[in-house]
């Protein structure tokens, strides 16, 4: 069960500060998040609270301890290096869209969407989002056409 809880918390964007001490980048309904893992009679054993870091700690310290922003930055920069200037040929729209969606999903699973107030001014998440949206808009209709042709060709076999 521990692995289920850890996996669920990670997917929800939580980061670890210390062993068994998780922090979220915002308010998350922990009861809803874990209700299907714990039987109702034991869910009350989970201890969750909303709070604000106080001296001698700061929110910035907490963010850097729990999520390692430099690693998140590198994940965004890797995505941007591959996709920001990409202009895939129309004939490769379907394959490129699938690769783009896979890379974007991996990035979303990595970046919990930390509050901008605790990140550097040049944080690359907005550029990554614009890049994904541009390519999704560009490739989506062409990929749909290619998929329809492939499905039609298979139906005719």
Do 152 and 111 lie in a common domain? yes
Q: At residue 156, does pLDDT exceed 70?
A: no
Last residue of a domain, one of 44, 63, 82: 63
Structure-token pair, residue 90? 């129309």
Distance CA 104, CA 107 (A): 5
**pLDDT tens, position by position, 94-124:** 999 999 999 999 999 999 988 888 898 999 9
Do 27 and 85 lie in a common domain? no
Distance CA 123, CA 87 (A): 24
Residue 54 C-alpha from the chain's centroid: 28
CA distance to 18, 65, 68, 110, per residue, from 71 (Å)? 18, 12, 6, 9
Do 151 and 76 lie in a common domain? yes
Using 50, 70 and 90 to split pLDDT, how confident is the model at 82? very high
pLDDT (0 to 100) of residue 19:
82
Structure-token pair, residue 60? 């910035």
Range of the domain at 139: 68-156
Domain count, the chain: 2
């Amino acid at each position: 069960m521990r692995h289920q809880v850890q996996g669920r918390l990670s997917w929800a964007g939580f980061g670890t500060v210390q062993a068994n001490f998780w922090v979220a980048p915002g308010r998350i309904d922990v009861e809803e998040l874990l209700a299907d893992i714990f039987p109702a009679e034991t869910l009350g054993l989970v201890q969750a609270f909303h709070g604000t870091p106080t001296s001698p700690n700061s929110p910035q310290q907490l963010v850097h301890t729990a999520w390692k922003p430099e690693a998140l930055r590198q994940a965004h920069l890797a995505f941007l290096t591959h996709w920001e200037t990409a202009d895939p040929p129309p004939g490769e729209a379907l394959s490129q869209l699938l690769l783009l969606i896979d890379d974007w999903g991996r990035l979303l699973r990595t970046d919990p969407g930390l509050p901008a107030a605790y990140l550097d001014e040049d944080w690359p998440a907005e550029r990554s989002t614009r890049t994904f949206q541009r390519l999704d808009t560009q490739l989506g209709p062409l990929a749909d056409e290619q998929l329809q042709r492939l499905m039609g060709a298979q139906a005719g076999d």
